Amino acid sequence: MSTQDELASIPGLAYMDGKYLPLAEATIPIADRGFLRSDITYDAIHVWKGRIYRLREHIKRFRASMTGLRMDLALTDDEISEILVDLVRRTGYRDAFIMVMCSRGIQPPGTRDPRLCRNRLYAYVQPFLWIANEEQRRRGLRMVLSKTQRIPSEALDQRIKNFHWLDLTMSLFEAYDRGAEVTILPLADGTVTEGPGFNVFFVKDGVLVTPDRNIFEGITRRSVIEIAGDLQMRCEIRAVHGTELSAADEIFTATTAGGITPVTEFEGRPIGDGKPGPITARIRDEYWRRHDDETLSTAVSYE
């Protein structure tokens, strides 16, 4: 298949340098440090039934990631939001996935000084994206504890959303090699962090638990913690060891790209009775129900 054919199969709309263009035609300059050095940050947002979920919080987090990497754009948060709303409106998509990125940009010839780059905004919208397919969502995912460690936050503050994904990507190869689909990555001390594109929760004796360190603090994770509070369910945010996952009653993943997904197998053994658990189902249903709450989302005006 040619590159052109590969690109043509990608539906969506992009925004670059003040212009809107089909996603298939949106290519970044090869000299952009975002490409050359992973010198880029981003946020991933979703649209459900024509409303953008927690847009303001996503933009606030995107701004914090930019500030953390000493990047800036000649745009206010409201202007960035308007560009994203406009992108969605132009596609007409009611259920969609939005990527917004700020890259360091192109460095002037003869220097490697990142301060001299003009930071660049890239964004695109695609139809809604699920990290797990329908069958996986129904039966639950198979997870393994990765042998690849997560990049420690002492080296790269994982609260900044980043494309330093090689630890996550190599762990995925490990998962597939071992007959699984997803991973959770440990730190050197045996505590666990998160997986390729999601946070992790487990349930033990009715108590919800999620790791507290070396993670990207997901908006979906935040939603789950709020839901637990509303349901008067105890939720512990603390150091978690891999052994606790093996003994869990339920495990689930949490991410913008698909919400809450049950994990029914860990390290080759069933979790609970090997079927998606009732607490996971309750939280998942409540998560989707919240998408109708107008205080948590921004309507897109398609007319």
Report the residue number, 106 or 284, with the smaller CB distance to ligand PLP.
Answer: 284
Nearest to 289 by CA among 62, 32, 48: 48
Report the residue number, 218 or 277, with the smaller CB distance to ligand PLP.
Answer: 218
Q: In angstroms, what is the minimal distance from the CB of 129 to ligand PLP? A: 10
The token pair at 91 is: 């596609």
Q: In angstroms, what is the minimal distance from the CB of 113 to ligand PLP? A: 29
Residue ranges that bind ligand PLP, judged by CB under 6 A: 44, 194, 197-199, 216, 218-221, 254-256
Report the residue number, 39 or 194, with the smaller CB distance to ligand PLP.
Answer: 194
Report the residue number, 117 or 131, with the smaller CB distance to ligand PLP.
Answer: 131
Nearest to 132 by CA among 88, 103, 175: 175
User: Which positions ≥6 away from 176 have C-beta within 8 Å?
Assistant: none
Q: In angstroms, what is the minimal distance from the CB of 254 to ligand PLP? A: 6
Q: In angstroms, what is the minimal distance from the CB of 212 to ligand PLP? A: 14
Report the residue number, 12 or 107, with the smaller CB distance to ligand PLP.
Answer: 12
Q: Where are the alpha helices (DSSP H) in 69-159?
A: 77-91, 134-139
Which residue of this chain has its Cβ atom nearest to ligand PLP in the complex?
218
Report the residue number, 167 or 249, with the smaller CB distance to ligand PLP.
Answer: 167
Nearest to 85 by CA among 50, 122, 49: 50
Nearest to 250 by CA among 280, 229, 227: 280
Q: In angstroms, what is the minimal distance from the CB of 154 to ligand PLP? A: 17
286-295: which pairs have CB atoms within 8 A and are 24 or more residues apart?
A: 286/227, 286/230, 286/231, 287/220, 287/223, 287/224, 287/227, 287/259, 287/260, 288/48, 288/259, 290/223, 290/227, 291/48, 291/49, 291/51, 291/53, 292/49, 294/51
Q: In angstroms, what is the minimal distance from the CB of 197 to ligand PLP? A: 4
Report the residue number, 107 or 210, with the smaller CB distance to ligand PLP.
Answer: 210
Three-state secondary structure string covering 151-192: CCCCCCCCCCCECCCHHHHHHHHHHHHCCCCEEECECCCCEE
Q: In angstroms, what is the minimal distance from the CB of 18 to ligand PLP? A: 26
Q: How many CA atoms lie within 13 A of 193 on its CB side?
A: 27
The token pair at 179 is: 């007959």
Q: In angstroms, what is the minimal distance from the CB of 106 to ligand PLP? A: 26
Report the residue number, 93 or 117, with the smaller CB distance to ligand PLP.
Answer: 93
Cα–Cα distance for residue pair 216/228, rounded to 1 Å: 19
- Helix then strand then coil, in percent of the chain rounded to 5, is 30, 30, 40
